[in-house]
């Protein structure tokens, strides 16, 4: 019987040799068993490490947005990720979440603003179906001007 608190390593050790009746008791068979056992131990160790890592909650970025009822669109105000977590599919997953949310609410599109010099983000958004529909310069005070593209993704 499997107990919920057993680790993959303990489960592997408990079931090791369960299929040994199919192998002859030869030197080659025993060596093969030893190699298999080492692989099982490595896999169990890797699985335990992964489970521990996945179980530790950590903030790797943040996002925000809201429905704009007057335009029937969802505005993604920000998607920020720590540099070391870019390229892991988190931005794509976030956009898919917002797409589902917008579709469930019967909205026509998603849109966002992106700095005109942020070529990496512009390429990423285009790859996800966004198109540049306009540009905007916004004075945010103290001499700072945001020089952005407005990008939109129509929902069908």
Rg (CA), the chain: 26
pLDDT at 98 exceeding the cut of 60: yes
pLDDT at 151 exceeding the cut of 90: yes
The pTM for the full model equals 0.62
Please state, in angstroms and rounded to a whole number, the distance separating the CA atoms of residues 90 and 58: 14
Per residue in 107-140, pLDDT tens?
999 999 999 999 989 999 999 999 999 999 999 9
Fill in the DSSP letter of residue 5: T
Packed helices 8-15 and 27-55: angle between N→C axes, nearest 10 degrees: 160
Rounded (5°) CA angle 121-126-132: 95
Cβ(66)–Cβ(77) below 8 Å: yes
Question: CATH second-level architecture of 61-154?
Answer: 3-Layer(aba) Sandwich (3.40)
Mean pLDDT of all residues belonging to the chain: 78
Domain boundaries, the chain: 8-55, 61-154
């Amino acid at each position: 019987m499997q107990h919920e608190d057993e680790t993959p390593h303990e489960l592997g050790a408990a079931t090791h040799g369960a299929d040994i009746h199919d192998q002859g008791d030869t030197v080659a068979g025993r060596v093969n068993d030893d190699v298999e056992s080492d692989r099982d131990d490595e896999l169990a160790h890797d699985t335990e490490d992964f489970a521990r890592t996945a179980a530790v909650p950590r903030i790797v970025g943040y996002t925000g947005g809201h429905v704009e009822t007057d335009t029937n669109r969802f505005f993604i105000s920000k998607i920020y990720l720590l540099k070391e977590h870019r390229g892991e599919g988190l931005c794509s997953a976030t956009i898919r979440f917002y797409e589902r949310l917008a579709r469930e609410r019967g909205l026509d599109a998603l849109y966002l603003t992106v700095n005109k010099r942020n070529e990496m983000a512009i390429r990423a958004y285009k790859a996800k179906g966004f198109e540049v529909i306009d540009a905007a310069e916004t004075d945010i005070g103290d001499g700072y001007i945001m020089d952005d593209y407005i990008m939109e993704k129509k929902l069908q």
